[in-house]
Structure 1
Amino acid sequence: MITWRRLGEADFPQVGEWLSQPHVARWWNHETSPEAVARDFGPAARGEEASEDLFVLLDGRPIGLIQRCRFADYPEYEAELKAAEVAVPDGAMTLDYLIGEPVLTGRGHGAELIRAIVAATWTDHPGSTTIIVPVHTANRPSWRALEKAGLHRVAEASLEPDNPIDDRAHYVYRIDRPIDPLSDPAAR
């Protein structure tokens, strides 16, 4: 069973280890020193930043990380998507994720995690309308996990890559909040 909790400072060594794994480092391109991890993940862990950094567990065992945030809290990111002609509705959120344990990749845990966090987002963030996730076109495992989790490719966009060795080619995936037939007269 996949669960998560807010990332804490005690988790930073594990996050640093995951970020140094080749399958993660390729796409996250993140410094892995204890100081860099504390610098970049500390503000969210302390609640000083709008991003939710969530430590992911599989049957109680740490396996990865998911970040969830509202585009409205990161206007530069939202503006970059809009400049690429991607519709970003009010209330839209985004995700970033990793399965840090190499032996657990390719087993469907990423899609399971994404499905679970999408479902939780509708409850945790009642004002959220949509989840939009850009992913580099070459990161096939990531975009396949999004597809298996029910997100749909809605655009191709030229966006700044996380890793400077990559070009700007991204796919954009989206899922909208399900319509509740009891509260939507048009659905009745």
Structure 2
Amino acid sequence: MTGSDLGDVIGWHAAPHVAPWRPGEPDLAAARRKYLPWIRGEHPNHLSVVLADGRACGYAWHYRVGDHRDYALATGEPDAVGFDVVIGDATACGPDLAPAMLREYLRQVVLKAHPDARRLVSSPPTGEAETIRALTAAGFAPLRDITVFDGEPAETLLLLTIGG
């Protein structure tokens, strides 16, 4: 991802199927403040644009769970690699394509960046049923619900063990 992709990020956040899960997401100036440090490598999260048939349709990020203290405590998985995906263009990736897209992102990006990873985690909001179904279809097992920060919505922690 580059800074020129942030306009798309704002648009993807405004998509009707994304907006309920991303309330109060930033305008372009706030997106620059939040994401440019990630893009420049000044933050432990690593961003990528997600492509479907060569067309940008969303973005994803990955990180070592242990680099995020509160998340590591909530998950109990400090040695795992975490990732999140936002597909803003719903026409690019329907329910049948989402698991394959997730597997390819993990194979082509996450596992190349973290070749020693043995456990991958993701934790979408508990109400985000489509994402949970896609992760399960991609091989993840739901473990439990977690809350990272007091007052924030619960998330469903899902785990994929590599080579196991």
Instruction: Give yes or no for TM over 0.5.
Output: yes
The alignment's TM-score, normalised by the length of structure 1, stands at 0.78
Where structure 1 has 5 or more consecutive residues not aligned to the other structure, the ranges are 1-6, 83-87, 180-188
2:100 is aligned with 1:108:
no
Instruction: Give the structure 1 partner of residue 54 of structure 2.
Output: 60
Q: 2:111 aligns with which of 111, 119, 122?
A: 122
Q: 2:156 aligns with which of 171, 175, 180?
A: 171
Once residues 38 and 25 of structure 1 are traced to their aligned partners in structure 2, the CA distance between those partners, rounded to angstroms, is: 19
Asked if 2 retains the 8 angstrom alpha-carbon contact of 1:89 and 1:130, the reply is: no
Instruction: Give the structure 1 partner of residue 13 of structure 2.
Output: 19
**Quick one: percent identity of the two aligned structures?**
25
The alignment's TM-score, normalised by the length of structure 2, stands at 0.88
Offset at 1:122?
A: 2.8
Instruction: Give the structure 1 partner of residue 42 of structure 2.
Output: 48
Offset at 1:64?
A: 0.8
Cα distance per residue 1:51-84 (max 9 Å; x no partner): 11110111211111111111121112112323xx
Q: Which has the larger radius of gyration?
A: 1
Where structure 2 has 5 or more consecutive residues not aligned to the other structure, the ranges are none
2:58 is aligned with 1:70:
no
Asked if 1 retains the 8 angstrom alpha-carbon contact of 2:60 and 2:84, the reply is: yes
Q: Give me the CA root mean square deviation.
A: 2.0
Once residues 159 and 153 of structure 1 are traced to their aligned partners in structure 2, the CA distance between those partners, rounded to angstroms, is: 16
